[in-house]
Amino acid sequence: MKQLTILLALIITITLLGCSGGGSGSPISTVTAPSVVSITPQTGGPGTTVTITGSRFGAFQGTSLVTYSGINADLVSWSDTMIVAKIPANANSNGTFQVIVNGQVSNYSQTFTTSNPIISFLSPQSGNADTQVTITGQYFGTVKGNSYVSFNAQQATILSWSDSSIVCLVPSSLGSQSGSVSVVVMVDGNRSSNIATFQFSAPAINSISPSNDNIGATVAISGQGFGFNQNSVNGYVTLGGQTAQILSWNDNLIQFRVPQISSAGTQTLAITINGKTISNSFTVEAPIATGQNPNPVGKDQLLTISGNHFGQSTDQISRSVQIQDYGQVAGVTYSDTSLSFTWPVDNTIFGTQQKTVTDRKSIG
């Protein structure tokens, strides 16, 4: 009986000790604020990706956030010791990061220095008004905002904008000047880039060779500011209002074929580049016969008619020779200054008679 009493007493004692507390109320839970140790890199422009290292960020973002000079930053990734964030697109000055977890605000990070934009390369590096130019570099900002590009202080039309690439059009307001043009990227209206050089050429015709020829002939136009290819400047050539076939096109030389023209004589030669036209004159020549050998000619004799503008072998033309009261002649051999064929017509009249020989040419 004594043993049972002792056991109950021991149980009661243990129970009492287990329930006894060291004072009244619940235990206090201490929450420690997140800590920022470093940021990498420490300089850049809007949109730059920055790695924030530290502690107590939490394994998951949840409702936590990162601010840059009071502006919420876009987040790329989040872990307890490392956060990757982007400098806000509308950030235009130096600033610091803070991490906010469950209402607890971290210390300030080192100062992030907002860099001026940097131009690395222009493509192309020369052209005329409305030429499309790609500017490659850094720290342009992920969105255009109030930023712009200037060519000799003339603002360019922007086609696309990213932090490392801008596509724009050379301002048409540059007019007819030629030479080096200063290109500057201005971010947020107050941070200017280094100066890049663009060679501006106002379209101009210097010479046309030859200055006269027949349809189908190849003609070269020398000059400047034509654009580095036909498609880049929406270019085309007309002669006497007829669109010409382009054989080659670069900034200093255009080659084309004389198109089908209804009548010979001086015609307007026009080059249209980005909707702007420059012009000169060109004379379309008709074939001219200056003599024949033999004279007179008999049936089945080889006849050579000499002259000018019959057409080169490289001319892309369809041609035929017609004899009055006979029709088309077969087996004609051409050069630009002569044509030869076997005379197919009998002389049915005593003495000599005259026949008109017509050289017909057409494109195609």
Flag whether pLDDT at 64 surpasses 80.
yes
The 8-class DSSP code of residue 142 comes to S
Sign, CA torsion 29/30/34/35: negative
More confident residue, 16 or 357: 357
Amino acid (1-letter code) at residue 362: S
- C-alpha distances (whole Å) from 115 to each of 50, 146, 170 are 14, 17, 26
Amino acid (1-letter code) at residue 175: G
pLDDT confidence of residue 298: 87
Main-chain dihedrals φ then ψ at residue 159, nearest 5 degrees: -100, -35
- Return the number of other C-beta atoms located less than 10 Å from residue 263's C-beta: 8
pLDDT confidence of residue 319: 77
Domains within the chain, CATH numbers bracketed: 35-114 (2.60.40.10), 118-200 (2.60.40.10), 204-284 (2.60.40.10), 288-363 (2.60.40)
Could you tell me if 127 and 274 are in contact, meaning their C-beta atoms sit under 8 angstroms apart? no
User: In angstroms, rounded to a whole number, what is the distance separating the alpha carbons of residues 168 and 154?
Assistant: 12
Flag whether pLDDT at 88 surpasses 90.
no
User: In angstroms, rounded to a whole number, what is the distance separating the alpha carbons of residues 139 and 24?
Assistant: 60
Could you tell me if 355 and 347 are in contact, meaning their C-beta atoms sit under 8 angstroms apart? no
Q: What number is the average pLDDT over the span 145-165?
A: 93
Q: What is the DSSP string of 127-146?
A: E-TT-EEEEEEE---SS-TT
Q: What number is the average pLDDT over the span 158-186?
A: 89
- The pLDDT tens digits of the residues spanning 100-112 come to 999 999 999 999 9
- The pLDDT tens digits of the residues spanning 258-285 come to 998 888 899 999 999 888 899 999 999 8
pLDDT confidence of residue 315: 65
pLDDT confidence of residue 44: 82
